[in-house]
Amino acid sequence: MRQVEVTIFVDYVCPYCYIGADRGRRLEEEFGVKAKWKSFELHPEAPDGGIPPSMYYENNPGLKSISENARLLAREAALTLGTHVVYSNSRLALELGVWADGQGRGPEYRDALFDFYYHRLQDIGDEEVLLAIAGSIMMSREDAQRCIEERTMKPTVDAQIDEARQLGIGGVPTYIIGKEYVSGAQPYGLIREIYQRASAGNQ
């Protein structure tokens, strides 16, 4: 069975990406494939300090049912989704994620970030929270702070978001498995089946 290239576009503030990232990790572990994790920014308009849930739901009345569905899917995957204090601006978290990937610590960073956001209910748009995340996985706080303050990964994140637009991606998580696109937190069995089909050359 040949290995197939897998790319996963995510935004950390999307609860379906939390679920989808777990499925992406399972795929990596089962088939020994190293996915490329790329950025997609769902809410670039979110201000510093995030958006209070009351305002977020008021401006997006359909989101309550979406959140309830995400919580159900999370439970089915043995994951926990807390009730947000704020909906964060994820831009700096995405940039720091690219930096962590470059240091070979992307999986640990994503796990820690999801923990801080969905379990500890921290604002991942806050610089101190991001530095705490870096420190929690034994990464240099000084280097992380430099990445945040100097915006060293901004061009890379810009390019990844532009790539997603050019590919016609409008939501996340989106998996690109070989030549096939899979959108949303689809069941792991489906993602696995698509990978196996691609690996057998049947796309």
User: For 98-122, how does the pLDDT look when each residue is reduced to its tens digit (9 = 90+)?
Assistant: 999 999 999 999 999 999 999 999 9
Asked if residue 172 lies in contact with residue 10, where contact means CB atoms within 8 angstroms, the answer is yes
Starting from the edge strand earliest in sequence, which strands make up the sheet with 180-183, in order?
Answer: 36-39, 6-10, 174-177, 180-183
pLDDT tens sequence across 130-160? 999 999 999 999 999 999 999 999 999 999 9
Asked if residue 64 lies in contact with residue 15, where contact means CB atoms within 8 angstroms, the answer is no
In three-state secondary structure terms, 200 is coil
DSSP state of 48: T
- Retrieve residue 152's tokens: 């060293």
Answer with the residue of higher pLDDT: 61 or 40: 40
HSE on the CB side for 200, CA within 13 Å?
7
Q: Is the pTM of this model over 0.75?
A: yes
pLDDT tens sequence across 159-191? 999 999 999 999 999 999 999 999 999 999 999
| φ/ψ (deg, to 5) at 37 | -95, 125
What structural domains and CATH numbers belong to the chain?
6-199 (3.40.30.10)
- Helix spans in 60-152 (H): 63-76, 91-102, 106-114, 127-136, 141-150
